[in-house]
A and B are shown apart, each in its own frame.
Chain A
Amino acid sequence: MTTTAEHTSAAHPTEAHHTSTGLSNEKLAMWIFLGSECLLFGGLISTFLLYREVDPLRGPSVESLYDIPFTSVSSFVLLMSSLTMVLAVAAIKRGDQRNTRVWLMTTALLGASFVGGQVYEFTVFYREGLGYTTNLQGSAFYTLTGFHGVHVSLGIVMLLSLVVLSLRGRMGTERAETVEIVGLYWHFVDVVWIVIFTVVYLITP
């Protein structure tokens, strides 16, 4: 039994929680936050769906400017960043500091590539005559995708902070849950994009 207990302690260093639920309060708080974020993005997606039905009185329609192959590559990049994130979580749970840093940096770079692609897309749309206030479609589109981009950018800041902590030797196995919680945020940003990519880009009127 002692062997089992020791093994449990080594494999799950952060899973003994003395809380009323028996669960980590920090993790539960993150899930509640993510549940509330569903309402935020639900509102933004609904607003876009509502306004894209309205004829643009000025400027081009959003749909006419989409570059689906380009956005597909961006979507794939973000999807793969979820893989690297989960590999970072697995690495820190094993106590593998080097691979934790490698996967966290890779995730941050993939996220930065996605944000770079979004900036490029916005620039192209602007040059084609669709500014933020040109028409309702444009406003709803920029607000929705812009909010998502801000979320990705905040995620990148969190990932880089973890890398810095790791480099300073302050990211031992006991901090595995911190990486897992940042991972939850990152995966949420990914699942939101899964919805946006289908509803906004692929299903067009």
Chain B
Amino acid sequence: MATEHQTIEHHDEIDHDHPSDGRYIQIALILGVITAVEVMTYVVDFGALMVPSLVIMMIAKFGIVAAYFMHLKFDSNLFTRVFVSGILLAIGVYVAFLTSLHIFSS
């Protein structure tokens, strides 16, 4: 019983580790829909909401690809920490860079 129980648990773990092909296709469809909405902002005037909505959709797409396609959701947290550190370092350095250039140029 114990072995059977462990085997069933392990099957769940495997399914959790590796989403099925169908699941990947569903994720790609979601990404496609978000891209279509992004492109709509070019045609339809979203007014003041345009930039915030585009940024939110960009972050959502980035997160979905990193989490599911790059398997960060299922892999070791160390990989996530390494990648996020790079992103945060880049954002910090270049926000400081752009801000300082704007300050000193005016």
**Does any Cβ of B come within 8 Å of A108's Cβ?**
no
Given contacts A4-B10, A35-B86, contact A23 B78 (CB under 8 A): yes
Could you say which of A28, A45, A76, A79 has the most chain B C-beta atoms within 10 Å of its C-beta? A79
Query: How many residues of chain A are within 8 Å of chain B by beta carbon?
Result: 54
Question: From DSSP, what is the main secondary structure of chain A's interface residues?
Answer: helix
> Given the complex of chains A and B, what is the CA–CA distance between A17 and B95 in angstroms?
39
CB < 8 Å: which of B27, B41, B66, B91 contacts A191?
Answer: B66
Cβ 8 A contact of A87, one of B24, B32, B91: B24
Tell me how far the C-beta of A49 lies from the nearest C-beta in chain B, rounded to whole angstroms. Answer: 6
CB of B11 to closest CB in A, whole Å: 8
A203 at the interface (CB under 8 A from B): yes
Spot the interface stretch: A125-133, A162-170, A182-190.
A182-190
Contact residue range for chain B?
35 or more
A28-B82, A76-B32 known; A190-B54 Cβ under 8 A: no
The docked-state distance in angstroms from the alpha carbon of A45 to that of B90 is 10
Q: Which of B1-38 contact A (CB under 8 A)?
A: 3, 6-7, 10, 14, 17-18, 21, 24-25, 27-28, 31-32, 35, 38
Task: Answer whether A93 and B18 are a contact pair too, CB < 8 Å, given A31-B82, A187-B69.
Answer: yes
Cβ–Cβ contact B3 & A34, under 8 A: no
Question: When each residue 25-46 of chain A gets 1 if its CB lies under 8 Å from chain B and 0 otherwise, what string results?
Answer: 0011001101111110111011
Which chain A positions have C-beta within 8 A of B86?
Answer: 34-39
Q: Are B91 and A42 in contact (CB under 8 A)?
A: yes
The distance from the CB of A3 to the nearest CB of chain B, in whole angstroms, is 6
Give min CB distance, A69 to chain B, whole Å: 8
- Judged by a CB distance under 8 angstroms, whether A86 is at the interface is yes
Q: How far is the CA of A76 from the CA of B39 in the complex (A)?
A: 11
Closest B residue to A198 by beta carbon equals B58
Residues of A at the B interface (CB closer than 8 Å) are: 1, 3-4, 7-8, 11-12, 21, 23, 27-28, 31-32, 34-39, 41-43, 45-46, 49-50, 68-69, 72, 75-76, 79-80, 82-83, 85-87, 90, 93, 180, 183-184, 187-188, 190-191, 194-195, 197-199, 202-203
Further 16 A-B residue pairs, CB within 8 A, beyond A72-B39, A197-B38, A198-B57: A1-B6, A21-B78, A32-B82, A35-B83, A35-B86, A38-B86, A41-B90, A46-B97, A69-B39, A90-B21, A183-B69, A191-B70, A198-B54, A202-B42, A203-B51, A203-B54
